[in-house]
A and B are shown apart, each in its own frame.
Chain A
Amino acid sequence: MNATIAKLALQALLGRRRFFLLLAFPVLLVGLVALVTALTDGEAAFELLPGLGYPLVLPLVAILAASSVLGPEVDDGSIVYLLAKPVNRYAVAFSKWLVALAATLAAGSLPILLAALLTGDAGRAWALFVGAVVAGTAYSALFLAISAVTRHAVIASLMFVLIWESLLGNLFTGIAWLSIGQWGLRVGHELSDQLPDPASLPWAIGASLVVTVVGVWFAGDRLRSFTLRGED
């Protein structure tokens, strides 16, 4: 953990337009849920969260956060100046991950809790929040690792979320065992029966932990042997 790198990553994250894009997601989600709750009832509005907020907004926020703390530097090559400093590369990855995690939880998980509380029934709201925290943690580590590997990190991460987890995950139930979002839901299921229970609890917890730890370690490892490539 290196406070200076974390501070720089936070500045990169909150810089100008990026911040507004990051802010747009929670505002959109809470506003939409509040609107639907006001016009119809909480039950119809709650459907938006497992249908839209949890599988789409949370990972998108995580992608945006993880790629903002590392992506621009890799993109314009200025990361070599950071890597030239005598700082442990794992500490660099860990500091950046902490910032991405904080942003994901603040702009992804917290709005899900707020929106779910708006629809009534605090029990399921907190359950969904716990799921969103678990999934947000694993997502931010995975997407940080992807950002350290390829310049097309955003597209690669989006393909994982949209095609693997959403499109194929809806067709093949077995993908729940290999889907970060479903692991989070499984952990949340322990708190409220209204959430589905794919996979098994020890697997969900274990797999989330493994993805988080390996993701951050792998990002550090990629930074350790980093090579710059041209535009392709």
Chain B
Amino acid sequence: MPEAPRSGVIHDLGYRRYDGPRDGTATIARTLFVTGLRHAYGLGRSGRSKVMPFLLLGMSLLPAAVVVGFVVLTGLRSLPVSYAAYTNQTQLLVSLFAASQAPVLFSRDLRHRSIVLYLARPLPATVFALVRWASLAVAMWLFTALPTVLLYLGAMLAGLDKSDQTTDALKALVLQAGLAALIAGVTGLISSVSLRRGFAVVGSVMALIVLSGVVTAVQNIASAEGEDPASVGVGLVSPWSLHNGLANAWGAGLDTPAPVDGAWVPAYVLVALLLIGGCLLGLVARFRKVGTR
């Protein structure tokens, strides 16, 4: 019997070969994205890893439900807190969610070296890093957007002004998308460099919560001293103050120690974009380096 020349290299054990259609990189990337998004909320993982994300999500939804109940019962004509301000007031929860879930997406593959298995498939390290970032960013965005949607639905049911509420809610959602991209970049970079979960978490908390506390304190002191430009300038440093400054400039109902206006607005946008870009470059560089080892 004539034997056909074998085309396989190592996996070919002589069984019948698969010659149906093969999905390309796009499908792999999409699957990886969906899996990453589910893993960020502990879906498809053990029961114990669902506790933390859903506990934090519940805690950030609870005040929104209380606010809606308050508005409906007392017949207020406006929400006592704007959508963007609500996100800012729950910043501890949002930051903790990012700090606890970024290591899930960025540290585990590197720590256990399962990254080599991913990169052995036709998926470049660059795409892997970007898809992981996109998963975390969308997870973060959902985390901040859900309370906004709840508040908006409550406002609609309570019969508040439709066009005002819709504009404010949409502004808040856009700002949250930017915030999510920033936070996902920063925490992702930290957890891909520091592989021990504990240190990645502490590092992320430093970059988000401690830095934001420092910036807010310095901003308040500077504006109390009458140094408004200094107060606005310091806000360029941390993700949260960037979000708050842009929300203030856009009139999304959020007060900063000094108003952000004039040439500061493009500066804020530019710094935010540069920060996201820098984090992505760092992530890509990190995963390419790991992938070639």
Given contacts A64-B202, A155-B52, A158-B205, contact A57 B210 (CB under 8 A): yes
B92 touches A162 (CB 8 A): yes
Residue of A nearest to B46 (CB): A232
Residue of B nearest to A63 (CB): B202
One of B100, B206, B213 near A155 (C-beta < 8 A):
B100
B199 touches A52 (CB 8 A): no
The yes or no answer to A3 lying at the interface (CB within 8 A) is no
Taken together as a complex, chains A and B put the C-alpha atoms of A18 and B285 apart, in Å, by 23
Mostly, the A contact residues are: helix
Contacts of A231 in B (CB 8 A): 108, 112
Taken together as a complex, chains A and B put the C-alpha atoms of A191 and B217 apart, in Å, by 26
Contacts of B46 in A (CB 8 A): 232
A155 touches B99 (CB 8 A): yes
Taken together as a complex, chains A and B put the C-alpha atoms of A75 and B194 apart, in Å, by 14
The yes or no answer to B115 lying at the interface (CB within 8 A) is no
Q: Which of B197-225 contact A (CB under 8 A)?
A: 197-199, 201-203, 205-206, 209-210, 213-214, 217-218, 221, 224-225
Taken together as a complex, chains A and B put the C-alpha atoms of A67 and B205 apart, in Å, by 15
Count of CB-CB pairs between chains A and B under 8 Å? 84
Taken together as a complex, chains A and B put the C-alpha atoms of A17 and B196 apart, in Å, by 11
The yes or no answer to A167 lying at the interface (CB within 8 A) is yes
One of A48, A75, A154 near B202 (C-beta < 8 A):
A154
B201 touches A155 (CB 8 A): yes
The yes or no answer to A32 lying at the interface (CB within 8 A) is yes
One of B100, B196, B202, B221 near A40 (C-beta < 8 A):
B221
B49 touches A158 (CB 8 A): no
The yes or no answer to A163 lying at the interface (CB within 8 A) is yes
The yes or no answer to B65 lying at the interface (CB within 8 A) is no
The yes or no answer to A159 lying at the interface (CB within 8 A) is yes
Contact with A along B172-210 (1 / 0, CB 8 A): 000000000000000000000010111101110110011
A21 touches B203 (CB 8 A): yes
Residue of A nearest to B193 (CB): A17
Report the minimal beta-carbon distance from A182 to chain B, rounded to whole angstroms: 18
Mostly, the B contact residues are: helix
Residue of A nearest to B55 (CB): A159
Report the minimal beta-carbon distance from A75 to chain B, rounded to whole angstroms: 7
A75 touches B196 (CB 8 A): yes
Contacts of A162 in B (CB 8 A): 92, 96, 209
Contacts of A36 in B (CB 8 A): 218, 221
B92 touches A166 (CB 8 A): yes
B96 touches A56 (CB 8 A): no
Contacts of B203 in A (CB 8 A): 21
Contacts of A87 in B (CB 8 A): none
Given contacts A52-B214, A163-B59, contact A44 B224 (CB under 8 A): yes
The yes or no answer to A24 lying at the interface (CB within 8 A) is yes
One of A39, A56, A60, A72 near B196 (C-beta < 8 A):
A72
B210 touches A60 (CB 8 A): yes
Count of chain A residues with a beta carbon within 8 Å of a chain B beta carbon: 38
B202 touches A60 (CB 8 A): yes
Residue of A nearest to B42 (CB): A232
A153 touches B198 (CB 8 A): yes
The yes or no answer to A7 lying at the interface (CB within 8 A) is no
Contacts of B214 in A (CB 8 A): 28, 32, 52
Contacts of B217 in A (CB 8 A): 47-48, 51-52
A17 touches B194 (CB 8 A): yes
Taken together as a complex, chains A and B put the C-alpha atoms of A163 and B92 apart, in Å, by 8
One of B49, B96, B206, B209 near A159 (C-beta < 8 A):
B96
B52 touches A152 (CB 8 A): yes
Report the minimal beta-carbon distance from A168 to chain B, rounded to whole angstroms: 10
Taken together as a complex, chains A and B put the C-alpha atoms of A153 and B201 apart, in Å, by 10
Given contacts A40-B221, A75-B197, A155-B100, contact A52 B93 (CB under 8 A): no
Q: Which of B103-121 contact A (CB under 8 A)?
A: 108, 112
The yes or no answer to A71 lying at the interface (CB within 8 A) is yes
B45 touches A232 (CB 8 A): yes
Given contacts A60-B205, A155-B52, A158-B205, contact A18 B100 (CB under 8 A): no
Binding site for B on A (CB under 8 A): 17-18, 21, 24-25, 28, 32, 36, 39-40, 44, 47-48, 51-52, 56-57, 60, 63-64, 67-68, 71-72, 75, 151-155, 158-159, 162-163, 166-167, 231-232
24 cross-chain CB contacts under 8 A: A18-B199, A21-B199, A21-B203, A28-B214, A36-B218, A44-B221, A44-B224, A44-B225, A51-B213, A56-B213, A57-B210, A60-B205, A63-B202, A68-B198, A71-B198, A75-B196, A75-B197, A75-B198, A151-B197, A154-B202, A155-B99, A158-B96, A159-B96, A163-B93
* Beyond A56-B213, A152-B52, A232-B46, 18 additional pairs, beta carbon < 8 A: A24-B206, A32-B218, A36-B218, A40-B221, A40-B225, A47-B217, A57-B210, A64-B202, A71-B196, A71-B198, A75-B196, A155-B100, A158-B99, A162-B209, A231-B108, A231-B112, A232-B45, A232-B48
